[in-house]
Amino acid sequence: MFVTHLECTSCGLRHDWSRLQNLCTACGKPLFAVIDLGAVGKLDGLKPSSLRETLRAREESLWRYRELLPLPKDAEPISLGEGGTPLLPAKKFAAGLDVDLWIKDESLNPTQSFKARGMSVSVSMAKYLGAEKLAVPSAGNAGGALAAYAARAGLEAHIFMPRDTPRANIIECRELGAHVTLIDGLITDCGAEISRRKEKEGWFDMSTLKEPYRVEGKKTLGYEMAEQLNWKLPGVILYPTGGGTGLIGMWKAFDEMEKLGWIDQKRPRMFSVQASGCAPIVRAFEAGEKFAGEFANAHTVASGLRVPKAIGDFLMLKILRESNGGAIAVEDEEMIRTVREVGSAEGLFVAPEGAACFAALKKLRASEKIDSGEQVVIFNTGSGIKYLDVFKSI
């Protein structure tokens, strides 16, 4: 087996990986899957140090890193061809900013967002471990991804969404066969409804960081980026942050790659980008706090950023500080303007969440928090086509 056990990210308590698990049974914090890196590749007669060289010949999907993912070798992945997204230079947008700018474009994933990565691995593991009904709270793209992968796996999907979720996401979930419930409230209210009903209904909770395997899919963002940059990490990463699984997953990937000898000890400075109307991580980072309190009256057109309270807050804040990075908020109007600016410069119709990172880059350069000549990678987490409602007044 590739995974040896699950470990609490807060108190360190070990848990058995071979049964369905949500949070730590002692402290209620997220669990990480611990991979036996020393044994990676041995099933194929390889040494861990030589595994990296075999990647070139493998499929262009996140499952190219199969030895570093938790699904046992004899289990069939639930896959729609996720991963293998391009890392594109953004020279036109960067003109005048004096940085070496790249875009990791996740809109080319199945269901048109990075959520496909996490759901491919987590649904694969949930099915392997015996789940039959899956539930998730979602402001949009996570719901669409769960609906798709649950359908592929032959499992029931129950998705709870705020009533004002972009219509495209709601339709997508329903047309993929999911049971969709609309809630008057925020994603936290949707999560609370699942918590109240899951035991009675027999649902396994697939919420962000409330099970240990979505983060394993998201960590492949870090592996792919490193491979595409010839195993040298960039100086800066700008990441749109709601629940933060991608940010946390990449940091986990960096640690694993260093232990494997694939990269050195240098780490990118990680910047969390949020909406001004929902910026709990920004507020906590600036206040020097370890945890982020719930953000009251959360609102933003970037539905993926409308997460007023994230269970992985302490992990994100630790990463931002350890990396000497930071957190920055962007106004909704600025995001929408920047969607068109990126589109006309680079030919990409980015999601508002991705556009927020481009707007943040300008602010960070103006304040000299990003230096001249630095290599910067921005993650565009989804396609703007999912957010047509946002542009209806334009």
Indicate if 219 and 306 belong to the same structural domain: yes
**58 lies in the same domain as 195:** no
Task: Please tell me the total count of domains within the chain.
Answer: 3
| pLDDT (mean) for 281-292 | 98
Report which of 197, 184, 191, 202 is spatially closest to residue 137, judged by C-alpha positions: 191
- Asked if 99 and 132 sit in the same domain, the reply is no
**Domain of 281?**
87-111+214-391
Q: Are residues 221 and 317 in the same domain?
A: yes
107 with 122, same domain? no
Tokens 């230096």 belong to residue: 371
Question: What six digits make up the tokens of 145?
Answer: 């991804």
Residue 281 covered by a domain: yes
56 versus 153: which is more confidently predicted?
Answer: 153
pLDDT at residue 394 in the model: 46
Quick one: average pLDDT of 68-92?
Answer: 96
pLDDT at residue 356, rounded to an integer = 98
Whether residue 182 is contained in a domain is answered as yes
Cross-sheet strand order for the sheet of 14-15: 14-15, 3-8, 31-35
pLDDT (mean) for 53-81: 93
pLDDT tens digits along 124-163: 999 999 999 999 999 889 999 999 999 999 999 999 999 9
Interval 80-96 mean pLDDT? 97
Are residue 182 and residue 59 in the same domain, yes or no? no
Q: Domain check: are 101 and 121 in the same one? A: no
Task: Give the phi and the psi of residue 339 in degrees, each rounded to 5.
Answer: -55, -50
The strand order across the sheet containing 269-275 reads 87-89, 100-105, 375-380, 236-240, 269-275, 326-330
In this structure, is residue 165 part of a structural domain? yes
Residue 378 sits in the same domain as residue 348: yes
Task: Report the CATH number at residue 332.
Answer: 3.40.50.1100
47-56, 113-122, 280-289: segment of lowest average pLDDT: 47-56
Q: Does 289 share its domain with 166?
A: no
Asked if residue 77 belongs to a domain, the reply is: no
User: What does the pLDDT look like over 15-30, one tens digit per residue?
Assistant: 999 999 999 999 999 9
List the strands of the sheet with 156-162, edge to edge: 179-183, 156-162, 133-137, 204-205
Q: Which of 141, 172, 205 is the last residue of a domain?
A: 205
Instruction: Considering only residues 357 and 390, tell me which one the structure prediction assigns the higher pLDDT.
Output: 357
235 and 201, same domain (yes or no):
no
Is the pLDDT reported for residue 39 higher than 50? yes
Tell me the pLDDT tens digit for each residue of 328-342.
999 999 999 999 999
Q: Please state whether beta strands 204-205 and 326-330 pair in parallel, antiparallel, or not at all (unpaired).
A: unpaired
CA–CA dist 330, 381 (Å, integer): 16
pLDDT at 53 over 90: no
If you average pLDDT over every residue of the chain, what do you get? 95
Q: What are phi and psi of 364, to 5 degrees?
A: -70, -30
Residue 81: inside a domain, yes or no?
no
Q: How many CB atoms lie within 10 A of CB 253?
A: 25
Q: Are residues 151 and 26 in the same domain?
A: no
199 in the same domain as 328: no
Please report the pLDDT score of residue 128 as a whole number.
Answer: 98
Domain termination site, one of 154, 173, 205: 205
Establish if 329 belongs to a structural domain.
yes
Contact 256, 68 (CB under 8 A): yes
Token representation of residue 171? 């339709």
**Residue 146 resides in a domain:** yes
Say what the pTM is: 0.95
